[in-house]
Structure 1
Amino acid sequence: MSFLTTVLAEGELARELPIPAWAYGAIALAVFFVLAIVVWNYRDVSNRHKVKADAYAAAHGADHGHGGH
């Protein structure tokens, strides 16, 4: 038997999935939904501590009119 016939013979064996095919999509959707909630909870975090950030910037001579480096 050649390698090719061995590979083809192995491919003929049907293996069943441990869960239904639609469940993989549902699990992925649930994971993305949970990750979206985590990201949503961290929105606008920099503005929550604006007083501290401004005090730090003033103490270290940062330019307030410039948004980036």
Structure 2
Amino acid sequence: MTFLLAAEEGNLLPVSSVIFPLVAAGFFALMGGVTWSYRDVAHRHANKTGGSQPSGSDH
């Protein structure tokens, strides 16, 4: 009986249901930007790992 009463009240969410996917998309975009910002970090610090050449290189 309580479920039926709650269903009749309508939207009980604190914000519109459109906001939740937008927040999720923004969060994933933010995390993608953080991940993208770390690209090529190993090559930037190659002098600390013994050089930029692979170990099997003839050069």
**TM-score normalised to the size of structure 1?**
0.63
Aligned amino acid, residue 42 of structure 1: Y
Give the structure with the larger helix fraction. Answer: 1
Cα RMSD of the aligned pairs, angstroms, is 1.8
1:1-59 deviation digits (Å, cap 9, x = unpaired): xxxxxxxx23211351100000001000110110011000001111111111116xxxx
Unaligned runs of 5+ in 2: none
Partner of residue 41 from structure 1, selected from 37, 40, 43: 37
Give the share of equivalent positions with the same residue, in percent.
30
Partner of residue 10 from structure 1, selected from 2, 5, 14: 2
> How many residues matched?
50
Unaligned runs of 5+ in 1: 1-8, 56-62
Structure 1 residue runs of 4+, over 4 Å off? none
